[in-house]
Amino acid sequence: MKYLLVLAVVMVAIYVWRNNRVTDRSQARPPPPPDAARLPVVMVACQFCGTHLPQGETVKGALGPYCSAEHRRLKEGGST
């Protein structure tokens, strides 16, 4: 009977040790890399109306960025 009790205590100790080890491993993982959407974006103002928009979405003109081709045409006087 004494050996059965010792075996039960050893089994419980092994169970607790293994469960704690698994949670420690999950906490040791490095954090995931930040999403591209969370990175800062350069904002610029339209030369015609002053609306701020991301630099990648602008229409390039001789005098600077514009929010649309229509505003570029009106400000620069081109026919395109």
Count CB-CB contacts under 10 A for residue 74: 13
Do 20 and 4 share a domain, yes or no? yes
Number of domains, the chain: 2
* pLDDT confidence tier of residue 80, bands split at 50, 70 and 90: low
Domain of residue 20, residue span: 1-30
pLDDT at 64: 93
The tokens describing 72, both together, are 């570029």
Mean pLDDT of 42-62: 94
**How would you classify the pairing of strands 59-61 and 64-66?**
antiparallel
Do 39 and 21 share a domain, yes or no? no
pLDDT at 26: 54
**Of residues 50, 80, 40, the one with CA closest to residue 65:** 50
